[in-house]
Structure formats: C-alpha cells, structure tokens
Amino acid sequence: MLPARGLRLATAASPLVFVIGAKKKHRVELTNGEEIAVVFKVQCTESSRFRLQPSKGVVAANASVAVHIQLASHSMDEANCTFLVLSKAASSPDAIASGAWVKDDDVAKLYVNAEIRQEASNGGDVAPLPETEQPTSPDERRVVRLLVKNKSRKSSNRLSDDEVAYLRQCKAAVTPSRWHQWEMNALHARTSLQGEKKRRASSNASSSSASLALHEDDVASLLTSPRYGKSAHSVVTESEQASLCCEPVDSVDAEVYAPLLNVVPHRCRRQSACDDQGRSCMEPACLWARYMLDVCIQQLQHTVNVGRTIASSSDDASSAIARISKSAQEIVILHQTNPYFDDAFRADASTSRPWLGSTES
C-alpha cells in the first residue's frame, strides 16, 4: 500500500506555461520517499498536444525520476489543461503494464496545472506588466495577469471556472492589503494597455487620412494616365486651386470655395457633342467628371475599410466614424468646387436629388 504522501512532485513553476512555437521543456521531478518502489503514469486532459519522456515508469525507493514535458509543434491554440500523475506501490515487475491499473488498487493522484499561451501571453487584450510592477513570485504574476484579463470585455478573455476558483483561493489566502496591491497592479497594467491601443488607433487614423490627401502632383499623375489621355496638363493648370478639395478638412464651408467657380473657365461642350469621342474625350468637363468618379470610388473604398475596422473593434468606433465623416466632406467639397456644375444644374440637382442637399447640410 502506498501512502498518499509517498510520491512527491516538484516543478519550477506553477502553473506550467508553454509558449506556442517555443521548444522549451518543463521538468517535473517525482520523488519517492518510501522504502518500496513506486510505479507511476502521467496523463493529461490535452494529451495529444504534449510530448512526455517518460510517460510512465518506476521510481525506486528513496529515489527520484525527472519527467520532461514539451509542447507538440502542431499545437497552435491557447488552452488550459491539467496533468494527472497516478502512482502506487510496485507489487510485481510488470506493475507498469497498462492492465495493472485497476479500480481496486490504492492509487494516489497528484495534479499539475498548465497553460498554453501565445508568445505575448496576453490573450490579445492583456498587457505585459511594466518592469516597475513585475510581481515577485509566480503565484502573484498569475493572479495579476488573471485580474487584468478579467477586466477585458472580450468574450475570448472570459475567465474559466478554474481561473475564477483560483482567484478566490488566492484572495482568501493573502491579507487584504496584499490583494489590494495586486488589484492596483492589474489596474495600472490595464490602463497602460488601453493607452497603447489608443495611440495605435490614432496613428492608424493619421496614416489613413494622409493616404487620401491628393495634392497637385497627384492630380497631374492621375490625369496623365492612359485612362485620361496625354494632353490633360492644361486642365491642371487652369484648375490648380481645385486640388484643395482633396485635402483633409474638418468642416464644409461653401463660401471659401465659391470664388473658384469664377476663376476656372467653363468650356464643357453641351449635350452629346463629346459622345463621339467616347472615354478618350479630353474636354475639361469630361476630365473633371472622371476625376470626381475616381475620388468618390476611393473614398467609398476607404469607407468600406473603416466599416470593417468598426466591426472588428468597437473601441475604435469614434475615430473610425470621424474618418467616414471626413471622407464624405471631401466628396461634398469636390462637388461644390467643380467649375462645370453651373447654377441651373445645381438647382435641378437640389430638387431631383434630395440626398445631395442633406449631405451638404
């Protein structure tokens, strides 16, 4: 018969943390303090994801055996798991055979918790602790990390039943002042994470706005492409101030752009005079129309991308909506500064296209 304390287990850390993609091995030492040999077998709730050496064997009397555990290379998902070490007195040389483990035997059980984590080990929304707030023990490190994880609104970061039970046990085992300090460390870590996310969002918004700003050189490049022909430089010269419509703006001010209508000459041929030339028509009005279409398509594509950003992360919704508003304003200003939209056309558009009026307001 093997007393429950006959086989002792020792690990360098608890729980064992395995990083996906790393080849680090964890060592679990099994020590037999009895005067009789002990057989053991190691099982796991995620057995297919680990490699054990050895997974079963015999520990001689007053001796130790090291079991090395390594994460399998095909394991790519995070998970929490538990290793179970079964042990009993060795009654015969073939005691380690699978058939020897029967329900009637006096089998002792030892448990080892383990975690499989990504390299950052933060679940996408749990920040690493600043150096000044690094915990002083593995238990404290795990508690603070779980407290940070618990503050996340993401369903993927929801604590498991085992993690909740672990936090309750730790809270009951430490003084209120120490638990309060852990909570403060988690709060600081969470605040640092949110600040970093806002800085990244602001940087992404700035880069997106910059990519949409078409200056005079960009207009010249656009109008000299094969789609618009090779003689469109004169259009840029005559309406060079119209490139202002593509600069990022905070609001629409029609009075600022109204004088441009009197500067740029109206030379568009009416009705179907340019239809004979097809898409290669080089009339300024046709060039402007195709240019406006390109800008509209560009801004709509940008709106689609921003919509995907909002769908994937609600935290960036405010900045994303601001970018959509800016894109709409650019299109409105482009419409207002088009020198080939005469007053009659605008009056007709305001009555037949009420959505244009609502956009400009």
Cβ–Cβ under 8 Å, residues 112 and 16 = yes
- For the cut 80, the answer to whether the pLDDT of residue 356 exceeds it is no
Per-residue pLDDT at 340: 62
Q: What is the pLDDT of residues 240-272, one digit of tens each?
A: 433 333 334 334 344 444 444 444 444 444 445
CA distance 239 to 261: 10
Tell me the mean pLDDT in the region 324-340: 74
- For the cut 90, the answer to whether the pLDDT of residue 307 exceeds it is no
Lowest mean pLDDT: which of 126-140, 182-196, 208-222? 208-222
Tell me the mean pLDDT in the region 292-308: 76
Does residue 117 or residue 259 have the better pLDDT?
Answer: 117
- For the cut 90, the answer to whether the pLDDT of residue 69 exceeds it is yes
Neighbours of 151 (CB within 10 A): 17
- In sequence order, the 6+-apart residues with CB closer than 8 A to the CB of 359 are 328, 331, 332
Does residue 240 or residue 303 have the better pLDDT?
Answer: 303
Tell me the mean pLDDT in the region 220-244: 40
Per-residue pLDDT at 239: 41
Q: What's the whole-model pTM score?
A: 0.34
- For the cut 60, the answer to whether the pLDDT of residue 64 exceeds it is yes
Cβ–Cβ under 8 Å, residues 2 and 34 = yes
Range list of β-strands (E), the chain: 7-11, 16-19, 25-32, 38-44, 50-53, 56-59, 63-71, 79-89, 108-117
Counted residue by residue, the chain has a size of 361
The share of the chain scoring above pLDDT 90, in percent, equals 6
CA distance 192 to 266: 57
CA distance 332 to 354: 14
- For the cut 90, the answer to whether the pLDDT of residue 181 exceeds it is no
Name the H helices within 111-173: 138-150, 161-173
Tell me the mean pLDDT in the region 173-202: 82
Per-residue pLDDT at 67: 93
Per-residue pLDDT at 220: 43
Per-residue pLDDT at 327: 76
- In sequence order, the 6+-apart residues with CB closer than 8 A to the CB of 15 are 112, 113, 114, 115, 142
CA distance 78 to 96: 32
Cβ–Cβ under 8 Å, residues 280 and 229 = yes
Cβ–Cβ under 8 Å, residues 290 and 232 = no
Lowest mean pLDDT: which of 9-23, 118-132, 228-242? 228-242
- For the cut 50, the answer to whether the pLDDT of residue 55 exceeds it is yes
* Domains, the chain: 1-119 (2.60.40.10), 122-208 (no CATH), 213-360 (no CATH)
